[in-house]
Amino acid sequence: MKNAIILAAITLLAVGFTNRHGTKAEPYRVAFDLTSRDSVDQAATVRWIREVSTSSPNAEMEVVLYGKGFEIVMPERSKVLADVQKAVANPKVKFKICAIAMKNNNIDKSQLLPAVQIVPDGIQELVQKQQEHWGYIKVSVSR
């Protein structure tokens, strides 16, 4: 009887382990929160996109821009324009800019790279992504 109980316990543990590890992994999705106009922060953002794309080609990434972070997607102001253009060529990478930040800084859509999407509120976009279980990275390497 004791052996039967031990065998049953081992079987249950094995089934539980198999079910937990046998299920499909959550998709790799990450949102980068960029509010800085600092070129070090902006360079880090595109470097991380490149590194994640290399190590996990199916990863979905979104860079949410508000505050002063929008300059990364402005051809006239971006110090990492070539890297941003390479990033947006990947269909799994999106750059989204806050309409409020655009209004507060007198930025027109014509000043942005064509692939950039405008969202009503950058903070709301980040909260929504977190509710959808996206990873969250606050870009802040220059401090």
pLDDT at residue 2, rounded to an integer = 54
pLDDT, mean over the chain: 87
Q: Is residue 74 part of a domain?
A: yes
Does 9 fall in a domain? no
pLDDT at 29 over 50: yes
The verdict on residue 109 lying in a domain is yes
Mean pLDDT (whole number) for 50-63: 97
Is 111's pLDDT higher than 50? yes
The CATH number of residue 109's host domain is 3.40.1260.10
Query: What residue numbers bound the domain in which 52 lies?
Result: 27-138
Residue 16 lies inside a defined structural domain of this protein: no
Residue 26: its pLDDT value, please? 78
HEC profile of the chain: CHHHHHHHHHHHHHHHHHHHHHCCCCCCEEEEEECCCCHHHHHHHHHHHHHHHHHCCCCEEEEEECCCHHHHHCCCCCCCHHHHHHHHCCCCEEEEEEHHHHHHCCCCHHHCCCCCEEECCHHHHHHHHHHCCCEEEECCCCC
Mean pLDDT of 2-17: 45
For residue 120, tell me if it sits in a domain. yes
Mean pLDDT over residues 41-66, rounded?
A: 97
At 25 the pLDDT is 72
**Is the pLDDT assigned to residue 141 strictly greater than 90?**
no
Q: How many domains does the chain have?
A: 1
For residue 83, pLDDT beyond 50: yes
Percent of the chain with pLDDT over 70: 82
Domain annotation covers residue 13: no
Is residue 47 one of the residues assigned to a domain? yes
pLDDT of residue 17: 43
Whether residue 67 is contained in a domain is answered as yes
